[in-house]
Structure formats: C-alpha cells, structure tokens
Amino acid sequence: MKIQQLSKEIGIGIDTLRIWERRYGFPIPGRDARGHRSYAQDQVEALQLVKNLMNFGLRPGKIFTLTEQQRRAQLQSLLDQGQPSDKRLQRLIDALAPQQIAQAITAMREELGLHRFIQEIAVPLLQLLDHRWTTGNISIAREHLLSDQLEKLLKTELFAPTNTDHPQLLFLTLSGERHKLGLLLAAAAFNSAGINCIWLNEELPLSEVPGLAHELGVAGVALSFSSHYLPRQAKQDLGSLRKQLDQKIKLIAGGHAVHQFTSLPNLLICTDLQLIPQLVRRHFNDPRVTPSN
C-alpha cells in the first residue's frame, strides 16, 4: 500500500506519516524498487489503532511510548468507559436481513415516538456501531446495512410533513465529511422541535455554502464534523464560514471534531442532541428573532 492510499484510508496526512517515521520510528514501511514507502497490512492495522487512540484525545508522544499490547489495552479501557449495551440494540445489530432490521426499527419508532426513539435507540445505536467499528467487531456490510435502514427511517420522518412555512435550517456536510448520520439525527430532532429543515445529502465545498444559504433564505446552517475531520480544519472552516455568512444567519456545528471548542462568536456548538429543544426555544422560537429581522 502506497503512502497516499494509506493516508486516505486512515485519515492522516502524508507529511504527518513521514514525520512520525522520522521522529518516533513508527510506522517504518518497506520500500519498493523505486525507494518509495510500501506499507504492509499489519502496519495499516497498527496505525489504525494509533488513530483510534488519537480520536480519544491521546497525543502521539504518549501513544508511541507504548507497546502495541499497551495500546490495545488502553483503547479497550477507554472503550469500556462507554455506556453498556442495550439488549434491544444487540438484537438489532445481530439481525442481518434488511427486512428484519427495518421492521425492528420501525416497530421501536412506533412504540417510543420520535423523540424517545432518537434518544433511546438511535443515539446509543450510533455509539454502539462506532464502538464495534473501532474494535473491528462488526462486519462492514452489517454496519452499512444497519445505518442504511436508520437513514431511511430518519429521512422519511424528516421529509414526511411537507412543511408549510419557508425553510429555516439548512443541514449539510462540507466536502470531505462523509459521516452524515449524526447530523441526520440532529435534523430529525430539530424537525420534531418544530423547525423546518432542508437536508442536503451531498457534501458541499465551503465556498458554495453562503450563496446557497442566502438563495434559500434560511435562518441558519447546521454542519457536523466527525472525528475524522481535523479539529483544526473544522475550526478554520467554521471561522471562514462565519465571516462569509450574513450575520443574521445562524451557524450551528456539532460532532466530535468540535467537541472541545470554546464557542466562537456567533456560532452555536451543539454536541448533545438532548439540548436541541432547549436550543430551539432560546434561538428560534422567540418571535422577535425570526429570520425576517
């Protein structure tokens, strides 16, 4: 595997990979006939482990002093601090046929109502999926099937009530951010709090956002930045967006990459879906703060 593929696969810059090799002596790839780096599969996995630890906030300097066993143990203990898994979720994950998954999901949604469904099923399910994913404990196919069905349900919810009013919030991810499910949950939550949402399924370059937001006349733009998005980049993007965007248009950001941001001026950071109703009450339901003013 060439350095570019690896960089894309793991989500670590090429320069970073090279300087890690120089500084920490890891990973040390083989070389092909040209002298170019060539990474073996076990190096890829070892590097994924490092990346997973970094996603928990550990820094390279710490990680690279550990042995591989210690890294595994560390990751495991960090993962174990997560919430215990629910039996219903367990059943969902084990079901393979899409029909079964779809049935189970819709049944739960009927039983609990949208709000409780999001809080009690969807959010923990996403976390559990992420957990299994980082431990390699679920097949990619299963994971995809499941998130597919969840996405389908949420979109149905989101688009079902053809909203009478003009759109208020535009939901999208920036180019390079491929994790949309969390944002979709947020959109559903906003929707159930009475906000009229527009969902843009495809990733958009930063520069296109202000124009679109303006043309659609939305009152706000909501973005999410997953753990694969470099926090620094996210900060920069948000800053840039805030500058380009009309001051009246609210900017809402969520996701792991913005988790520890001290809130920038005129920017709402929302890393907990439970806070959405409150956020809506504060910033959207006040008649004096409608999009028209």
Partner DNA sequence: TTTCATTTTTGTCCTAGACAAAATAGTATT
Partner DNA sequence: AATACTATTTTGTCTAGGACAAAAATGAAA
Binding site for DNA (CB under 7 A): 2-4, 13-16, 18-20, 22-23, 33-37, 54, 59-62, 230-233, 235
Residue 87 or 232: the one with the smaller Cβ distance to DNA is 232
- The DSSP string of 85-142 is PPHHHHHHHH--SHHHHHHHHHHHHHHHHHHHIIIIIIHHHHHHHHHHHHTT-S-HHH
Q: How far apart are CA 201 and CA 63, in angstroms?
A: 36
> Quick check: 147 binds a second copy (CB under 8 A)?
yes
Restricting to residues 152-211, name those near a second copy by CB under 8 A: 152, 155, 159, 167, 175-176, 198-202, 204-209, 211
Q: Give the one entry of DNA, a second copy, none that residue 265 binds, where binding means its C-beta sits below a cut-off of 5 to 8 angstroms depending on kind.
A: none
How many residues make contact with a second copy (CB under 8 A)?
A: 34
| Region near a second copy per CB under 8 A, out of 111-119, 212-220, 250-258, 280-288 | 212-220
| CB of 119 vs a second copy, minimal distance in Å | 24
Q: How far apart are CA 200 and CA 176, in angstroms?
A: 14
Kindly state the tokens that stand for 191: 């929707």
Residue 80 or 215: the one with the smaller Cβ distance to a second copy is 215
Q: How far apart are CA 138 and CA 140, in angstroms?
A: 6
- Polymer length in residues for the chain: 293
Residue 95 or 234: the one with the smaller Cβ distance to DNA is 234
**Binding residue (CB under 8 A) for a second copy from 76, 139, 260, 278:** 139
Q: How far apart are CA 151 and CA 286, in angstroms?
A: 31
Residue 12 or 126: the one with the smaller Cβ distance to DNA is 12
Beta-carbon count within 10 A of 66 CB: 15
> Quick check: 212 binds a second copy (CB under 8 A)?
yes
| CB of 216 vs DNA, minimal distance in Å | 31
Q: Give the one entry of DNA, a second copy, none that residue 289 binds, where binding means its C-beta sits below a cut-off of 5 to 8 angstroms depending on kind.
A: none
| CB of 19 vs DNA, minimal distance in Å | 4
> Quick check: 138 binds a second copy (CB under 8 A)?
no
| CB of 172 vs a second copy, minimal distance in Å | 9
Give the residue from 39, 33, 31 showing the smallest Cα distance to 10.
39
| CB of 47 vs DNA, minimal distance in Å | 12
Beta-carbon count within 10 A of 73 CB: 12
> Quick check: 231 binds a second copy (CB under 8 A)?
no
- Residue 163 and residue 248 in contact, taking contact as beta carbons nearer than 8 Å: no
**Residues making contact with a second copy (CB under 8 A):** 8-9, 96-98, 139-141, 144-145, 147-148, 151-152, 155, 159, 167, 175-176, 198-202, 204-209, 211-212, 215-216
